[in-house]
Chains A and B, each alone.
Chain A
Amino acid sequence: MKKSYKIEVDCANCANNMEEAAKKTPGVKDCTVSFMTLKMKVEFDEGADADAVMKQVYANCKKVEDDCEIYL
């Protein structure tokens, strides 16, 4: 399952950090963050609860980039 989320972030490197953080979150199979379109595309593992996983993704992203926002 793939979903796309709108995000808010200030710098390109921070977007890369968010991507890394999201990829490491359990339940996330793959993730790409585009700084230019301010979109996060997440591919979830089979049978994962997208909402719960995204909450964790959000928490992890906040850790690496305090200034970011993901519109869930």
Chain B
Amino acid sequence: MNKKQKRLLWRIIIAAIFFVPLYLISEEFVKVNLPQWAVIILFLIPYLLVGYDILRKAFLGIKNGQVFDENFLMTVATVGAIVLGEYGEGVAVMLLYQIGELFQSYAVGKSRRNITELMDIRPDYANIEVDGELTQVDPDEVEVGSIIVVQPGEKVPLDGVIVEGSSSLNTSALTGESLPRKVEAGSEVLSGSINMSGVLKIRTTTEFDESTASKILDLVENAASRKSQSENFISKFARYYTPIVCYAALALAILPPLFVMLTKVGMGHYATVGQLWRDWVLRACTFLVISCPCAVVISIPLSFFAGLGGASKQGVLVKGSNYLETLSQVRVVAFDKTGTITKGNFAVTAVHKSPIDEQKLLEYAAHVEGFSSHPIAASIREAYGKYIDRSRVTDLEEISGHGISAKMDGVSVAVGNDKLMVKLGIDYEPCDEHVGTVLHVAVDGAYCGHIVISDEIKETSKAAMEALRKAGVEKTVMLTGDAEKVAAKVAAEVGLTDYRAQLLPADKVSCVEELLKECSGNKRLAFVGDGINDAPVLSRADIGIAMGALGSDAAIEAADVVLMDDDPMKIAKAIRISRKCLSIVKQNIVFALGVKLVCLLLAALGIANMWVAIIADVGVMILAVLNAIRCLFVQKL
């Protein structure tokens, strides 16, 4: 609790100590003979003690032309009650209202701190070695190219490359991925990750302002400034609502008794004319107490903020509450292929038509390709996965545009494409099942099958499409510059509903525009890309999602939602988080306004008294705030 809250707490406690015995006396639960004026004065003590700031704000509001706010509502209602002789109720309303305010202020402050902590990846200091001793400096002061030391348990303060040491890094604050990442000399490290085991020496590559941690912090902090429609709706609503209920209360206080007086209808219920007026004015005061809009006004921004915080903890950075709202309405998702659905790196996907053992075939190919730096050669070596003894290979000849022929263990081996096989006069079998780059292998002049190398589909892509379908996404479309055949195969394998192949980058934008036209009503289109060269498409879609964005500035700039790691499963997760958040917002609006309306009606009919009114008001607010905090818990979604 801060100072202000503590002071309010004490005021509430002392006022309550005064109030309870007084109330018992005034309601004649306890018999004490006190003159009327003494009771009034005694009641004024707790009233002023607990409510003086409300009275002051209401007065200042009137002076400054800002009449209708909740302070005004409370002031009029409580003063009204006291003037009408309902001292106990008047003071109780003020007391409970302040308890509600205290709770709200405490809950909001607490969740504000929790959420900020959750997102806090700000490094406090960087260690620099000077004359063999470590000194802590502000990360702001470290120049690019300096060597910094990060000890176990410390945050990496700046992006850089490891020059010495190895360790495992906890990147969960950045990616939501709980598995530690192994790093060694030469690895790039990102600021905001936590060093878990060994001491690392890092050469920095960015200044603090440009580092990943700063960029993410900046993004998250600004997110709450982009307000959602619901937030704008509520602030507009509050602007009109309060004056309306004030006039309604005024009407309630004047019109019915006037009607009764003039027509004499129902006059029989009241002993005197004074009784009649007293009854209706009291109803109007009750009406004012109920109408306080706090519950809704506080819970909506709190829900969104908690939602943004919870999402960022899961490695989903949403750039604003408005995007959270759009995300929840996504029905069509368009994907880039390379780097989004596929890994964007080449790997051996199949070995076929081989009369010899697959592993043996890979052994030949890996050795013959052992000298090449081409990514395809690297992928074969990786698939082989064992030590390559280059001394086994002799007479190596690279035939440009065809492949390689060599002698391995004295046997002639040729590895290359169709053209190479034709050239060597070897009868080969074309690959008709698989799509990708095909490398034929011939050993001792005889055909030994082929290796298919292609971009691998991410392990989670298929499950991700299923998850999207379950999350209510009707259409998943892949947009790719790749060949028709490759696109068709990937689309079928992953379970996309549609694909467009052989697109130039500019075609992707027109494709998205076409898809946008098909979206009617509240349906929204999301485009998911890896942020490299699809910035125009990201910004054209209703919502642009960049994935694997760590380290890519373009993506962080252009996208509305940034997925910190490469996992396409996060897309559905982001949608589910947004749905949960939006449904909580709706629950709160409907629940709070619903209860208020019912109570307003009851108050107007004279069924609900002040006690019901204030308990409804504070109770609804507490429930709405607690419900809003649920937005934070999205881990299991």
**How many angstroms between the C-alpha atoms of A36 and B306 in the bound complex?**
9
When each residue 276-305 of chain B gets 1 if its CB lies under 8 Å from chain A and 0 otherwise, what string results?
000000000000000001100110111011
Give the residues in chain A near B105, CB-CB below 8 Å: 10-11
Q: Smallest CB–CB gap between A5 and chain B, Å?
A: 12
Give the residues in chain B near A13, CB-CB below 8 Å: 69-70, 235, 238, 293-294, 297-298
- B70 nearest in chain A by CB position: A13
Given A11-B294, A12-B297, A13-B294, residue A34 in contact with residue B224 (CB < 8 A): yes
B227 contacts chain A at the CB level, 8 A cutoff: yes
Q: Smallest CB–CB gap between A14 and chain B, Å?
A: 8
Give the residues in chain A near B135, CB-CB below 8 Å: none
Q: Report yes or no: B112 in contact with A36, Cβ–Cβ below 8 A.
A: yes
Measured as residues with beta carbon below 8 angstroms from the partner, the interface class of chain A is 10 to 19
Give the residues in chain A near B53, CB-CB below 8 Å: 67
Name B's interface SS: helix
Measured as residues with beta carbon below 8 angstroms from the partner, the interface class of chain B is 35 or more
**How many angstroms between the C-alpha atoms of A35 and B112 in the bound complex?**
10
A55 contacts chain B at the CB level, 8 A cutoff: no
Given A10-B105, A64-B66, A66-B60, residue A34 in contact with residue B225 (CB < 8 A): yes
Q: Report yes or no: B104 in contact with A66, Cβ–Cβ below 8 A.
A: no
- B306 nearest in chain A by CB position: A36
**How many angstroms between the C-alpha atoms of A37 and B349 in the bound complex?**
49
B178 contacts chain A at the CB level, 8 A cutoff: no
Name A's interface SS: mixed
When each residue 13-54 of chain A gets 1 if its CB lies under 8 Å from chain B and 0 otherwise, what string results?
100110100000000000010111111010000000000000
Chain B contacts with A in 213-247, Cβ cutoff 8 A: 221-222, 224-227, 235, 238-239
Q: Smallest CB–CB gap between A39 and chain B, Å?
A: 7
B64 contacts chain A at the CB level, 8 A cutoff: yes
Q: Report yes or no: A67 in contact with B57, Cβ–Cβ below 8 A.
A: yes
- A34 nearest in chain B by CB position: B224
Given A10-B105, A13-B238, A63-B66, residue A39 in contact with residue B221 (CB < 8 A): yes
Give the residues in chain B near A67, CB-CB below 8 Å: 53, 57
When each residue 557-597 of chain B gets 1 if its CB lies under 8 Å from chain A and 0 otherwise, what string results?
00000000000000000000000000000000000000000
Q: Smallest CB–CB gap between A34 and chain B, Å?
A: 4
Q: Report yes or no: B104 in contact with A11, Cβ–Cβ below 8 A.
A: yes
Given A13-B69, A67-B57, residue A36 in contact with residue B224 (CB < 8 A): yes
Which residues from chain B sit less than 8 Å from chain A, CB to CB?
Answer: 4, 53, 56-57, 60-61, 64, 66, 69-70, 101, 104-105, 108, 112, 115-116, 221-222, 224-227, 235, 238-239, 293-294, 297-298, 300-302, 304-305
Q: Which 5 A-B pairs have the closest CB atoms?
A: A36-B305, A34-B224, A16-B235, A32-B225, A63-B64
Q: List 15 A-B contacts (CB under 8 A).
A: A10-B101, A11-B70, A12-B298, A12-B301, A13-B70, A13-B238, A16-B238, A32-B226, A34-B225, A36-B301, A64-B61, A64-B64, A64-B66, A67-B53, A67-B57
Which residues from chain A sit less than 8 Å from chain B, CB to CB?
Answer: 10-13, 16-17, 19, 32, 34-39, 41, 63-64, 66-67
